Amino acid sequence: MAYRIAYASQADAARRRLPAQRRSALDKAMKSTIGANPYGHGSVETKPGERDYREVTIAGADAIVVYYVSAPDVLTVTAVKLITF
């Protein structure tokens, strides 16, 4: 299935503040985890009963990502909050 990862303004701003090497690691980790399986990799529903509103800790990128999943024609994972540590 084709997919894309998008960033809402708050998450995009946090991503852009990362040094280039960390941003690259985050992009790679996002693609190989929630990009490949947005309901897996230890992700959980952030709001009970809303399966498509999720949160996950991205190992290797030291980040917590809150995201929405939608799939009209192309599966889209939209990160709405990105917390790095």
Please report, in tens digits, the pLDDT of each residue of the chain (85 residues total).
678 899 999 999 999 999 999 999 999 999 998 888 899 989 999 989 999 999 999 877 789 999 999 876 678 888 888 888 7
Residue 70, number of CB atoms within 10 A of its CB: 12
Is there a contact between 75 and 1 (Cβ–Cβ < 8 Å)?
yes
* pLDDT for the residue 35: 87
pTM score, whole prediction: 0.85
3 phi-psi bin (left φ>0, alpha ψ -120 to 50, beta other): beta
Q: For strand 63-70 and strand 3-7, is the pairing parallel, antiparallel, or unpaired? A: unpaired
Domain count, the chain: 1
Residue 3 has a pLDDT of 82
Range of the domain at 55: 3-84
pLDDT at 43: 93
Q: What is the pLDDT of residue 83?
A: 85
Res 10: pLDDT: 92
Which pLDDT score, from 0 to 100, does residue 67 have? 93
Q: Residue 31 maps to which CATH number?
A: 3.30.2310.20
Distance, in Å, from the CA atom of 58 to the CA atom of 84, rounded to the nearest integer, reads: 10
